[in-house]
Structure 1
């Protein structure tokens, strides 16, 4: 049995990845600081869902990647073969108000992990990066050679973390890979994300709120496609030092998305607009040809199919978020 460390493993992406690793027979160390960025009951449910698979294969460690002593002890006490670094201080908009905290959590945290990984002969280190590193598009879809001009402190911390991963690959031959996620959604997603917020508000008869004119577009990526991309790297050779876009290659405007959710939930609610918020990219759209070529990545879900899957899940699991009703998009 392999031992895999998943940082941020109680979160949306980390817990889905942990479930899949357990299904495939791995022993998983879940490191999470249980940051109350959103209701902690959701993270506890995520962990419980993972442990339902096999409590013997899931070990939960409550702590932060910024705790250097803790990280050192985790690596000393376990023979970790693969690291999936999903943990980060989340939120593009909040990072504009508190850049120092984002720098400490996201950059200092990954440096602690990289140091212990290279000292302990970790086979593969996968870093969850973000399309926010691109910023204002010079052209679309973004390929990995597109200029990096992040428009938020969050995006800057992700780009800095990528550079550190590349450096450790070059200096120490640590097999690092950066995966640039494009707006991930699906079952158990955070309640304050656009899709979960729209669905929740429709079901509860509240108007949908769009910030800006609604013409901004997103390449939304379904969670199972994200998990698939990560799993392809578990035993993949020859991709050390690479950076890969992980998107759906599909995109949709926020206004179209809102209208689609209203239609598919068969509800009669208003769609209203409020002022745009700082830090958001105007458009995102992924060129995934590099990931297709190097790791055989082949996303299964387009945005409409994925949203329908999420709506179906939500209708069967409304108590997952209750009594939480998101109030912003």
Structure 2
């Protein structure tokens, strides 16, 4: 994808990262078709809260990523496909693994088949750092072994390999972006940073969390979005898997303490057993090596190291503590 105007299909456009990505693509002047999950409420997810001038420029396609006919219809006339639609909650994957296979693997197959038949210019498939499992070495490069430690991560490994197989077998121009733990405004409270912020913002001082010792590489959503666009624009990304991460490691416990400090509150952290993953399923350590993204794409995070994390958390806190935004979250219950 060059800087010229392109017709771009974004699947999962109604979600956290997808809505931010969709908005930025419109701002950059692209012709964007937003594939949103069909529902009887006619909700477009987070796009319902986008600025009117953004929404007015969008073509919205309600559908189901599991339906090959709808996927192909949505893709007609598009130059680029940015495929983000997926089930991503790890706890729910323990509960309903079948749905992850149908959505994440079969849904990706539908994208690849349609893209091949319609001869689209490029498909950017979204992976996840969870496919690495607990780090065997750090920082984690793209050559790190893949370990399916949850049904979710196993489904994403399958989808990633399927995408690469279409590149190898059919020369389909596929790139795989592998974001580490993205956070920011609009994120679901099933993720740890919104869980902490919403509990504190709702007046709780005894904060319920799962394991505190695992480490993560938190990537602010603006950096993730710029990573998607960089991958889409670069011809060098075709056939490649590319990490998008901050190259900064921090524990869940340290993150909770930092958030409390930024919010000016003293907290006590309580262990909530239902939030703890099964022992062998917990990913103990994630820390991204983003060298490949820097060399291949010229991409680098703007929110890196502890100062970048503080800036990103401050922006995230500002959004979540806005009363109209906080009201959309059920901070008092565990989000599966």
Contact 1:251 1:303 in 2 (8 A): no
1:102 aligns with 2:100: yes
1:200-254 residue CA offsets vs partner (Å, 9 max, x unmatched): 1112221212212x11111111000000011112331122110011111112111
Corresponding residue number in structure 1 for 2:34: 30
Give me the whole-angstrom Cα distance separating, in 2, the residues matched to 1:51 and 1:27.
16
Change (3 A) 1:160 1:45: closer
Cα shift readout 1:70-92 (whole Å, capped 9, x = no counterpart): 122223xx311000000001211
Counterpart of 1:69 in structure 2 is: 69
Query: Comparing 289-298 with 270-279, which one deviates more in the overlay?
Result: 270-279
Asked if 2 retains the 8 angstrom alpha-carbon contact of 1:246 and 1:286, the reply is yes
Q: 1:123 deviation in Å?
A: 0.9
Q: 2:329 aligns with which of 318, 324, 329?
A: 324
Unaligned ranges ≥5, structure 1 = none
Distance 1:158 1:281 in 2: 15
The Cα shift of 1:281 comes to: 0.8
So what's the TM-score if we normalise by structure 2?
Answer: 0.90
Which runs of structure 2 are paired with 1:139-288 in the superposition (5 Å)? 139-206=137-204, 207-212=206-211, 214-275=212-273, 276-278=276-278, 279-288=281-290
Distance apart, 1:130 and its partner CA: 0.4
Aligned to 1:313: 319
Kept in 1: contact 2:227–2:244 (CA 8 A): yes
Displacement, 1:93? 1.7
Contact 1:22 1:53 in 2 (8 A): no
Post-superposition offset of 1:46 = 1.8
Structure-to-structure mapping, 1:81-120, within 5 angstroms: 81-120=79-118
1:297 aligns with 2:299: yes
* Equivalent-residue separation in structure 1 for 2:117 and 2:54 (angstroms): 30
- What is the RMSD of the two structures over their aligned residues, measured on CA atoms? 2.0
Deviations 1:280-299 (A, max 9, x none): 31111101111111111100
SS of alignment partner, residue 235 of structure 2: coil
Q: Aligned partners of 1:54 and 1:136: how far apart in 2?
A: 40
State which of 7, 19, 25 in structure 1 corresponds to 2:23.
Answer: 19
Structure 1 CA distance, aligned partners of 2:181 and 2:221? 10
The alpha-carbon deviation at position 157 of structure 1 amounts to 1.1
User: Between Structure 1 and Structure 2, how many residues are aligned?
Assistant: 321
- SS at the partner of 2:327? coil
Map Cα deviations across residues 8-43 of structure 1 (whole Å, 9 max, x no partner).
00000000000000001111111121579xxx89x7
Determine the C-alpha separation between the residues in 2 that align with 1:69 and 1:231. Answer: 27
* Distance in structure 2 (CA, Å) of the matches to 1:265 and 1:34: 37
Distance 1:180 1:266 in 2: 34
Q: CA deviation at 1:172?
A: 2.1
What does residue 128 of structure 1 align with?
Answer: 126
Aligned counterparts of 1:93 and 1:45: Cα–Cα separation in 2: 21
